[in-house]
């Protein structure tokens, strides 16, 4: 991206001036290096989002931003329903509520290492992964409706996990407003055996250890300690979320024309939040969120079972579960007034600062745990949200490293066998369902996650708490 197009606000914050049909300026967070490496499409898409009705304050992009459908991946925008604000499929994405959850063990790296290869193999054999993967839970459309309404609460009720888990999941494990009547039968059919499955693409399950602690006080509040073994799960709503997006794109395209909303890019089709079409999509999207929350809850239950086989006395406690492809109703202060806004985060994570009543009581003074995954074989991070981040970015942060290479480029550039062997020499065990999937996810296909984290923190959006390094990783 050309820096001359931007106004420098600080070393880690850049503005796209409000021009033409833009209703607000654009705001991109990142170091000069990260900004220069961003695709020009990020500039274009941030600017396009800024033209949508009812947008508040600015169209935002996180330091890991790259080109996406309609919104950039790493895009954030809030819309005011009282000002004709819209809701957009492109602002949420196809993998609705794709997100991460981290489980904490009382074990140390040294205690797990002797069992690592067998442990990774057992997890790989227990948790279905890969394109079209199916699990043991088979649901009729009526049973699936219960999942879409209940989310992780449904899973806990069915014995997948513990009631105390719900306190450490966004929305306490269940998104209000879900209505399965607005989810197509095709979406339900595609999902009937996918609850409790990892999927493919950049989804993973990773055994990690705490390599470094930056803030001892917050780390203690979160239950983190040096060399501690943790497990992170990254996945979403699987086929159901993708089908919801597919179903609603043409509906919202018609709505855009019906309500006279000018669209700069076809994937930006949208409807007024309070319109019939907008409400239908919101209710369906909430079902997608609940599907993802249930999915991660079931996978966590399976992980706990595998760990029990190796370490019978060990319980894995849930640190937090946070999504990064959502539209949520939130209260934010705008111009000194509290406003009810619909905040779209597409490849961006909610990152509340201290004091928010939505947070678990034990985290309220520290702020929300923000879980940022790196690329395969690289570091991941636990951060915490800030009040400054709430003011600048509606309490949002990056969600990962961000791709620098397309999947096709990665397949042409890397061989799965070489990646697995290279990582094994570093003591990292990798197991994947397909060679193609492993090549697509080569570490070199992504930005340097440490630079993304540095920019996110120096922009004031988050604070560093701990660095995690991988021991074993399962890919679809």
C-alpha–C-alpha distance, residues 59 and 49, integer Å: 6
Burial class of residue 40, CB neighbours in 10 A (0-12, 13-18, 19+): exposed
Whole-number pLDDT of residue 407: 81
CA nearest to 49, candidates 68, 64, 35 = 68
49 vs 22: CA distance, rounded Å: 8
Best CA proximity match to 353, nearest among 361, 345, 343, 365? 365
Q: Give pLDDT, residue 404.
A: 77
Which domain CATH number covers 399? Answer: 3.90.1860.10
Report H helices in 115-184: 116-126, 141-150, 152-157
Contact 474, 205 (CB under 8 A): yes
Contact between 122 and 115 (Cβ < 8 Å): no
| Residue 301 marked in a binding site | no
The total of structural domains in the chain comes to: 1
Global model pTM greater than 0.75: yes
**Burial class (CB within 10 angstroms; exposed 0-12, middle 13-18, buried 19+) of 271:** buried
Ligand-binding annotation for 376, yes or no, is yes
Count Cβ atoms below 10 Å from residue 3 Cβ, excluding itself. Answer: 11
206 is in an annotated binding site: yes
d(CA 441, CA 375): 7
> For residue 260, what are the CA distances in angstroms to 240, 254, 256, 288?
30, 10, 6, 28
Q: By C-alpha distance, which of 69, 64, 57 is closest to 15?
A: 57
Residue 315 annotated in active site: no
Residue 192 among known ligand-binding residues:
no
Give yes or no for a contact between 104 and 230, defined as CB atoms under 8 angstroms apart. yes
- 456 contacts: CB under 8 Å, gap ≥ 6: 29, 62, 63, 372, 383, 397, 398, 462
295: annotated binding-site residue? no
Select which of 301, 332, 344, 399 is catalytic.
399
Residue 257: CB atoms within 10 Å: 11
400 assigned binding-site residue: yes
475 carries a ligand binding annotation: yes
C-beta separation of 382 from 104 below 8 A: no
- At residue 167, the pLDDT reads 98
Residue 35: give the domain boundaries: 3-475
Residue 114 DSSP label: G
Cβ–Cβ contacts within 10 Å for residue 112, how many? Answer: 22
* pLDDT confidence of residue 207: 98
Contacting residues for 331 by C-beta, under 8 A, at least 6 apart: 338, 339, 340, 341
CA distances from 209 to 168, 198, 380, 472 (A): 20, 21, 10, 10
95 is an annotated ligand-binding site residue: yes
Cα 136 to the center of its chain, rounded Å: 25
| 48 assigned ligand-binding residue | no
- Return per-residue pLDDT of the chain as tens, 476 residues: 998 899 999 999 999 999 999 999 999 999 999 999 998 999 999 999 999 999 999 999 999 999 999 999 999 999 999 999 999 999 999 999 999 999 999 999 999 999 999 999 999 999 988 888 888 888 988 999 999 999 999 999 999 999 999 999 999 999 999 999 999 999 999 998 899 999 888 899 999 999 999 999 999 999 999 999 999 999 999 999 999 999 999 999 999 999 999 999 999 999 999 999 999 999 999 999 999 999 999 999 999 999 999 999 999 999 999 999 999 999 999 989 999 999 999 999 999 999 999 999 999 999 999 999 988 889 999 999 999 999 999 999 999 887 778 888 888 888 888 988 888 898 899 998 878 878 888 878 887 899 999 999 999 999 999 999 999 999 87
**399 appears as a binding residue in the annotation:** yes
């Amino acid at each position: 991206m050309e820096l001359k197009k931007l106004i420098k606000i600080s070393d880690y914050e850049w503005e796209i001036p409000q021009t033409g049909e833009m209703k607000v300026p654009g705001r991109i967070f990142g170091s000069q290096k990260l900004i220069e490496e961003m695709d020009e499409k990020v500039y274009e898409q941030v600017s396009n989002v800024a033209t949508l009705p009812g947008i508040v304050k600015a169209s935002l992009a996180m330091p890991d931003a790259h080109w996406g459908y309609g919104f950039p991946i790493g895009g954030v925008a809030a819309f005011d329903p009282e000002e004709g604000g819209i809701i957009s499929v492109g602002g949420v994405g196809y993998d609705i509520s794709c997100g991460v959850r981290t489980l904490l063990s009382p074990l140390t790296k040294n205690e797990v290492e002797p069992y690592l290869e067998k442990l990774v193999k057992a997890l790989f054999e227990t948790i279905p992964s890969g394109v079209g993967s199916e699990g043991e839970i088979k649901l009729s459309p009526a049973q699936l409706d219960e999942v879409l309404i209940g989310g992780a609460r449904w899973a806990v009720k069915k014995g997948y996990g513990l009631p105390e888990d719900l306190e450490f999941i966004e929305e306490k494990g269940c998104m209000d407003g879900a209505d399965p009547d607005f989810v197509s039968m095709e979406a339900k059919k595609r999902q009937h055996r996918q609850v409790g499955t990892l999927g493919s693409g950049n989804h993973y399950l990773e055994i990690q250890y705490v390599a470094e602690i930056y803030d001892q006080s917050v780390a203690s509040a979160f239950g983190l300690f040096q060399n501690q073994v943790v497990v992170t799960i990254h996945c979403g709503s699987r086929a159901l979320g993708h089908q919801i997006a597919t179903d609603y794109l043409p509906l919202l395209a018609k709505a855009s024309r019906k309500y006279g909303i000018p669209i700069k890019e076809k994937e930006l089709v949208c409807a007024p939040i309070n319109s019939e079409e907008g409400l239908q999509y919101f209710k369906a999207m909430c079902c997608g969120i609940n599907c993802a929350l249930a999915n991660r809850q079931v996978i966590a239950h399976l992980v706990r079972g595998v760990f029990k086989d190796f370490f019978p006395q060990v319980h894995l406690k849930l640190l937090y579960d946070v999504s990064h492809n959502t539209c949520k109703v939130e209260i934010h202060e705008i111009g000194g007034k509290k406003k009810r806004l619909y905040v779209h985060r597409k490849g961006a994570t909610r990152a509340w600062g201290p004091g928010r009543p939505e947070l678990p009581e034990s985290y309220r003074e520290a702020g929300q745990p923000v879980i940022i995954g790196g690329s395969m074989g690289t570091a991941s991070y636990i951060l915490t949200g800030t009040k400054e981040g709430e003011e600048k970015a509606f309490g949002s942060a990056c969600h990962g490293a961000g791709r620098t290479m397309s999947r096709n480029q990665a397949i042409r550039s890397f061989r799965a066998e070489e990646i697995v062997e290279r990582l094994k020499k570093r003591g990292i065990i990798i197991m994947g369902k397909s060679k193609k999937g492993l090549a697509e996810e080569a570490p070199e296909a992504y930005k340097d996650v440490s630079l993304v984290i540095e920019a996110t923190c120096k922009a004031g959006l988050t604070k560093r708490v701990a660095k995690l390094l991988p021991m074993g990783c399962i890919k679809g």
